[in-house]
Structure 1
Amino acid sequence: MNPWDEIDTAADKLDKMAAAADDDLNTNPYWGSRCPTRFADGINNACGGAAGELAAMFNPDLARLFARRLRAVGEAWPRHVAVTTTASAAAGRAEVLAMARNINGTTKATTS
């Protein structure tokens, strides 16, 4: 799979997961209330600790924003080898590709 397909696949996965989570939030009695923090509260209550807080921050709206950003970077990524880019632009694309691969489950993202 080429980098653009990997990024599109990750963005599609995030969009589908966000839609499914929204559906669950609106139909599953566990989530009951319409409180704006219900997702964060529910995840944090279920998981707890720093891991629960981190998971709670990644709500469906944030997933959609990540998907939109992934697509924007993928669309702007030069598709011709002859295109020269700055080192920082190349590093940014590498980070986005690492994020996409992590979302796709093909590799674990690292911070280094």
Structure 2
Amino acid sequence: MKSLLSLLLFFAALSHAMAVPARQADARYVCTTDSDCVVVNHGNCCGATEVCALASATFTRSEICPAGNGEVSVCGFESIEACACRQGVCYGMHGGEVSSSPKEWAV
């Protein structure tokens, strides 16, 4: 009986546990509301590239143009009409659909 009670308490504790994200998001993209996210110039080797992030977000030269580090950079991007906070991360929106995300930037 004691082991059954312990098992029930264990499952009860699990039901109140918060889900742990598989990977923590880059702090430049973490949000709580849509208004936290704005369109900022991330930049790339071709010039400007828009992303949705916090207004204070800054990017390093190696993040802006990884091609200078022996990597490849993609030129061009879909325009962002609005930014939205989804699951605690800023996403770019176009036509009501997610058009860009921090995942594209490996963060």
TM-score band, normalised by shorter chain = under 0.3
Larger Rg: 2
**TM-score with structure 1 setting the length:** 0.20
Larger relative contact order (Cα-Cα within 8 Å, sequence gap ≥ 6): 1
**TM-score with structure 2 setting the length:** 0.21
